[in-house]
Amino acid sequence: MLLFGFSSGLPILLVFSTLSVWLSKAGIERSTITLFSWAGFAYAFKYLWSPIIDKFSLPIFKKFGHRRSWLLLVQFLIIFSLILTSFTDPQKNLYATAFFIVLLAFFSASQDIIIDAFRIESVSQSKQGYLSSMYIAGYRVGMLVSGAGSLWLASYFGSDNYDQFVWQKVYCIMALFMAVGIFANLTSNEPKIKKNVFKKTNNHLIFFLSILLAITIFIYSYSNISFSVKDNNFLIFILTSLKLIFCFFVSGIFLMLMTKFKIVEKKMVTESYIAPIMNFIKKYGRFALIILMLISLYRIADVVMGVMANIFYIEKGYSIKDIATYSKFFGVFATIIGGLLGGYFASKKGTMTALFLGALIASLSNLLFAWLATVEANINYLIMVITADNISSGFAGAAFVIYLSGLTSIKFTATQYALFSSIMLFLPKLIAGYSGAWVDVMGYSNYFILTALLGMPVLLLIYWIGTIAPIKDK
């Protein structure tokens, strides 16, 4: 789990944090850089293709077993995506960079689906806290390498003045580190859980192609619907939300028609999408919607604030070397400590108590950034704020992973966990895309205060759910 966590944590900062520094150095506008956070919708939409990973056995790498064969394929595709990204230049063709970053996010999200299922299927619920803590520790070390490591490399190769070749070398070196995850895969054992896989390969291929076509329809619809509103950020947010709902509706209609005309087997769709949702609703009844609301809001303060962090550091006057050392290096160790504390606290005081405390300190830590925005650039202040923020983030993250693992049914491991983590990221990523424009309007200090306030309603939900809908046995 430590090595698998590393493999999961490595790509994510190359999609978000490190990328934002690269784009900033390339002279891309702040509001455009934060829109790149929408590449994170790959993590938010992974429920769409998780049934394929959960239910279909690959015709290649069969000897590794169901989970490991999928994992090996996806790990190679992540390496391929990193290399392709490294050969793009955002100054010359920003769309090419965006395309390969989305590709990287897609395969990274797929890797998360498999590793989450692998972890949940490997041990009982009583031991999930220990595996979750090790996974998060490995995840943060992976982020350490792709965060601090990549920025140190960029500084070493000479990034004071923009040079695309510097970032090409950085992303290619990061691709080499994926060998850690491949090694972990080759030396691990397949979870001894009997899977109900699809037997008819031709039918599943049609199903797989239908899902890809539905995603293509979604992307095409979204990219071709535009509106002329520019200065009203709140109205833009509402219109974008409606646009997303409409695109989901169009894609859903397409899949319904494919089923109605029997191009796709109805049983396959039912087993892939309906059964996991019905299983969750049956288990939690009328409280299911409230639990889903908690999942969708729990990390909102963290995610929305985090999109602006690197841009804030650079505009505040801190060097790339400072960011690498204090934010990405020491910050990761602080996050690991927070994760271990969160796992331990959950095992001693209960998951819901840990969840409440994690949400509280994660929101309050954003106020420290609001204060940092009002004072002069000072390394000691930066260290203090980053340490507090990362400990709280690690604590909240560990508690949340344990909670989600407890909600997941062993019958639909990958699909249900992907659904929960998709819901977790959708709203925060949608809002985060506008963070650069919001900072333009209100400034950094007010923006960080706003992100802290966004996390407050979650506390009421946790208290309520803790009293009415405790985690049930699988």
Domains of the chain, residue spans: 2-200+265-468, 201-264
Q: 380, 430 in Cβ contact below 8 A? A: no
Is-contact 162 91, C-beta < 8 A?
A: yes
pLDDT of res. 181: 94
Residues comprising the chain, all counted: 474
DSSP annotation of 26: T
pLDDT attached to residue 417: 73
pLDDT 10s digits, 44-84: 677 777 777 877 778 788 788 888 999 999 999 999 999 99
Interhelix angle 128-144/331-349, nearest 10 degrees: 170
Q: What is the pLDDT of residue 435?
A: 79
Instruction: Point out the residues of the chain with pLDDT beneath 50.
Output: 472-474
The CATH architecture one would assign to domain 2-200+265-468 is Up-down Bundle (1.20)
Token representation of residue 23: 């784009």
CA–CA separation, 141 vs 176, rounded Å? 15
Per residue in 159-210, pLDDT (tens digit) is 567 888 999 999 999 999 999 999 999 999 888 776 666 555 566 667 777 8
Six token digits for residue 58:
């690959």
Q: What would the 3-class secondary structure string for 408-459 be? A: CCHHHHHHHHHHHHHHHHHHHHHHHCCHHHHHHHHHHHHHHHHHHHHCHHHH
The pLDDT score that the predictor gives to residue 126 is 66
DSSP notation for 271-299: IIIIHHHHHHHHHHGGGHHHHHHHHHHTT
Q: Cα dist. 65→132, 193, 195, 304 in Å?
A: 23, 11, 11, 38
pLDDT of residue 139: 87
User: DSSP states of 433-444 as a string?
Assistant: TTHHHHHHHHHH
**Confidence (pLDDT) at 169:** 94
Tell me if 431 sits within 8 A of 256, measured CB to CB: no
Identify the pLDDT of residue 474.
42
